[in-house]
Structure 1
Amino acid sequence: MRARLVSSVADAARVRWADVTEAIRLAPVRLGLLGTILLALGSLTPAYLPQASPFWPTMRALGLDTWWAMAFGTALVIVAVGCLIVAWLRLRPAIYVDVKHWAVLAWWSLPLLVAPPIFSHDAYSYAAHGWLMHNGLNPYETSPAVLPGGFADQVAWVWRFTPTPYGPLSLEISHWLVDLAGLNPYYSAVLMRLPALVGVALIVHYLPRIGRQMGVPPRDVAWFATINPLLVIDFVGGAHNDALMVGLVVLALHLAYRGWFWPALLAAGVAMSVKQPALLAAYPLAVIGSGWASWHWRDVLAFLPRLIAAFAVVIGVFVAISLATGLGFGWMNAAGVPGMIVTLAPFSLLGWLLQQGADALGLDPTGRAFIGGAQAVGTVLALLCLAWLAVTRARTEPVRFLAWGYLAVAIFGPAMHPWYLLWGGVLLPLTRPSRRLWRVAAVVTAIVLVYGAANLAWRNDAVALALAALAAAGLWLTVRHQNRRRT
């Protein structure tokens, strides 16, 4: 028995190794690998490192803290993004024919595993929250600035003095990883990739299987969702806790389609304890396998106990983890923190523009009325979209409800970062999108990635930003051309 088990494991390892070696033989895979190598190198330039990074002394000693080094780093990142986008588009016909999607992701992720967090300093915030908990402080009640030093100095200035709205399990994981890193600020931030990689693994393993269960071509699912450059850069490179949340939601959907209702709800509850938007998954999880026939009042009444049970279990798991960690529910007081800065969220941008005009005319002594008002309008629109989707789509297309519901929350909410689009974006291929929607999604992916590169290049002054804008235009034209050829 033992010999047979060892032989089986060895055979599986040989198959996996063959998949990996076959993948690197493809030119697009090598192009994408070049992109992530350049991205890792670009992350070591001054524009992308926090003030307390351990790389600064070496960079100063080598004379790499100059404007030219910053501009060169920005150029590396822009070229890297371009390589990844072009490689991704060229690989679409090859997935499941010439190459396995997971092998592509493995090659592209490899350089990012040893790089500093990419395109965002959130991982440094996670480390600071873990440091607070190590010292017996509650991140819902205190900010990283309470404990000056290496951990706080890595945190982006705007978040250094604010409490966190993250879920209790996310904070507990941060605490464990800070201890695992030996209380080293930088290594603690890098280790935040571990839970993100767990989430990515769940997405890669289960999402194509869900596609097969739903009768959706798993090739399309694997191509768009699992090797999407946005996922590679933001979930693997950025180490965002959204990756674990999304991965657990995908696991919950898989379990639901297998008929395992209660385990699916448990997975969704754990996902909510990582990040609260996972609660939205409770509705489609209740619908899947329910046999809900129509909106006739008798059918609705028959379905209602299952819906109530779904929300009760998901919220119950979240409450249990909140109490078990001892953190409580202080995140509610910090729920407005993400909306404090101007992001890609359309209504936040609109509010900011209106606020500038109001401030110039002296119409708003508070300095936030127009921003807050616009964000409130956006939130109402998001809720209206959810209500419309819940009535028109959820009963017959529960995954479509979840995909577009998450996108509505991300787009109309008070804050929208590029990785928020992955909440619903990874589920988008399960909705059987039209050819036009495929093209739009690919173009949006390219634009959002270039924005991510330019966003952290503000420190490189207007010249570098102008170069980034030119690169964005070039990438948009490239994506448009590639899509016309491929579709």
Structure 2
Amino acid sequence: MSVRLPVTTWSASVAGFVGVAVLVLATSGFPGPSVVLLTVGLTGMGVVVLAWLGLGRRAAEIPVRGLYWIAVAWCLPLLFARPLFSGDVRSYLAQGVIAAQGLDPYRLGPMAALGASSPVAQEVSHYWQDTPAPYGPVWIAISRAIARIAGQDLLLTLLLNRLVELAGVTLIAWALPRLARRMGVSPGIAVWLGLLNPLVLWHVVAGAHNDGLMVGLVLAGMEIALGGLSGPSRLVSGFVLLTVAANIKIVAGAAVCCLGAALARRWGRTAGRGALVMLGVFVGFVVLSVVISAVTSLGWGWLGTLGASAQVHSWLAPTNQLGFLVGGLGALAGADITSAAISVTVRVGAVLGAIAGAGMVWAIFRGRWNPLTGLGLVFAVMLATGPVVQPWYLLWAIVPLAASLRSDRARRPLVVISAVSAMLLPPISGGAAVLVAGYLGAAVLLAMIWLGGCRGKSGSRTFSSDGRHRSSSTKQHAVSDID
């Protein structure tokens, strides 16, 4: 069996692999000036983003199997990287150790539970050293199991967390093309935009964030459930996966609501009957969550810590940005009102988000949106009106929308947001001067690489199952749309 790829696709896939490898090397701890290492790391990231954009021009033509192999090649070097872009895996370790010692991670933060002398607690960011775990019992149970295997070894913990997140990536890879076909979207474009997205590479594989597993379970649950609307077994299986996802991070409960709206439309007919169906879905969700809490023996303490992450003002959250703006205007008048302004804007955002989210669930019930598009838009509203936004949170909306948006015009904002957000966080920390110099240096190098790449010639190569390739003079041309 062979997979035929155009030379431009082959070149982009190799360039992406090289870019990932350069990023891993630049962040591996080699001695050198910070500005040089930062420039090299950012250049590697930029090469991956450019390669990803280049693949997007032909994504509808590339076999899904070929995209899978590209994903494997791009992910492989990141398995050996240091924790990148975030130290959350250190918090996962601390929470797992706390639970493994029989303590309550929903009541005690790392410092209180493990003590100031604990090397595990010291590794946690100072923002979160006194913060209880904000994650559901499924995730804490996973962290507890990892802690029992790895002890307090951060390296082994990182590897095991990456393996868990790779399970989430595998679920994404399995569900995306199936959901895309169900929604009338090109599977190749869905896999390119959702699976090969640089945000998945940086923050799910390299950063080992639990959002990867959550999103994978959401997509798999939606695919299984939507395929089983006419039968109970698949529907129940999909519903269970969605509930498990929500017991990792509560935001996945949005998927339960969207599925409930789809069921209400199919079975409810009228608004009253639809409300009864939604009530049944909610009761089922609560019952299953009670079972999960009992099985994991972690209880319901996590519901009291859900707002823990909002204690730190998120500079990417629009509600926080508005609060900072009001606070800045107040500072000009000599008033220190930033914290109060953010508190107000966050509360206003919560109200607006609840109204908009409810409206979108209603739109699914009325048939104006399919449940997958509705889910992506509900997540987008959460990000626009919520108190905390991180680059990896964007995947909540991007991945389901990758499988449901049918036109290039509708997908274009997702592509732009992904490309820009992929370059927001530097892989190496430094002062303002180092960051400015690193980004400028990387911009110059990327411009040179881009100009050099524009001079390449087209052609094709055939890749066979034994890993060898054969050159061909056959030229293939991109298709502008999939619809």
TM-score bin (small chain): 0.7 to 0.9
Give secondary structure in 2 for the equivalent of 1:118: coil
Q: Which amino acid aligns with 2:361?
A: A
How far apart, CA to CA, are the structure 2 residues paired with 1:341 and 1:392? Answer: 32
* Residue number in structure 1 paired with 2:253: 279
* Residue number in structure 1 paired with 2:457: none
Flag the 1:24–1:460 CA change in 2: closer, same or farther, 3 A.
Answer: farther
* Residue number in structure 2 paired with 1:251: 220
* Residue number in structure 2 paired with 1:374: 345
* Residue number in structure 2 paired with 1:34: 18
> Is 1:308 paired with 2:279?
yes
> Is 1:261 paired with 2:235?
yes
Aligned residue pairs, count? 443
Larger fraction in helix: 1
How far apart, CA to CA, are the structure 2 residues paired with 1:131 and 1:390? Answer: 39
Deviation for aligned residue 1:330: 2.2
Deviation for aligned residue 1:19: 6.2
- The aligned runs of 1:73-472 (5 Å cut-off) are 73-92=37-56, 93-94=58-59, 97=62, 100-146=66-112, 147=114, 148-259=117-228, 260-288=234-262, 292=266, 299-339=270-310, 340-358=312-330, 363-364=335-336, 368-396=339-367, 397-453=370-426, 457-468=428-439, 471=442
Give secondary structure in 2 for the equivalent of 1:428: helix
Q: Which amino acid aligns with 2:12?
A: P
Flag the 1:394–1:71 CA change in 2: closer, same or farther, 3 A.
Answer: farther
* Residue number in structure 2 paired with 1:9: none
Q: Does the CA-based 8 Å contact 1:95-1:222 persist in structure 2?
A: no
How far apart, CA to CA, are the structure 1 residues paired with 2:122 and 2:4? Answer: 40
Deviation for aligned residue 1:84: 1.1
How far apart, CA to CA, are the structure 1 residues paired with 2:479 and 2:182? Answer: 30
Flag the 1:305–1:38 CA change in 2: closer, same or farther, 3 A.
Answer: same
Q: Which amino acid aligns with 2:105?
A: P
Q: TM-score, normalised by structure 1?
A: 0.82
Q: Which amino acid aligns with 1:139?
A: P
How far apart, CA to CA, are the structure 1 residues paired with 2:214 and 2:192? Answer: 21
Q: Which amino acid aligns with 2:20?
A: T
Q: Does the CA-based 8 Å contact 1:37-1:111 persist in structure 2?
A: yes
How far apart, CA to CA, are the structure 1 residues paired with 2:444 and 2:218? Answer: 35
Q: Does the CA-based 8 Å contact 2:136-2:247 persist in structure 1?
A: yes
Q: Does the CA-based 8 Å contact 2:89-2:208 persist in structure 1?
A: yes
Flag the 1:324–1:230 CA change in 2: closer, same or farther, 3 A.
Answer: same
Residue segments in structure 2 that go unaligned for 5+ positions in a row: 229-233, 455-477
Q: Does the CA-based 8 Å contact 2:137-2:247 persist in structure 1?
A: yes
How far apart, CA to CA, are the structure 1 residues paired with 2:315 and 2:301? Answer: 24
Q: Which amino acid aligns with 1:253?
A: M
Deviation for aligned residue 1:104: 1.0
Give deviations 1:121-162, integer Å, cap 9, x for gaps: 111110111111122221111111232322122212211221
Give secondary structure in 1 for the equivalent of 2:266: coil
How far apart, CA to CA, are the structure 2 residues paired with 1:421 and 1:41? Answer: 27
How far apart, CA to CA, are the structure 2 residues paired with 1:114 and 1:104? Answer: 17
How far apart, CA to CA, are the structure 1 residues paired with 2:272 and 2:70? Answer: 47
Q: Does the CA-based 8 Å contact 2:267-2:277 persist in structure 1?
A: no
> % of aligned pairs identical?
30
Which has the bigger relative contact order, CA under 8 A and spacing at least 6? 2
Q: Does the CA-based 8 Å contact 1:23-1:29 persist in structure 2?
A: no
Q: TM-score, normalised by structure 2?
A: 0.83
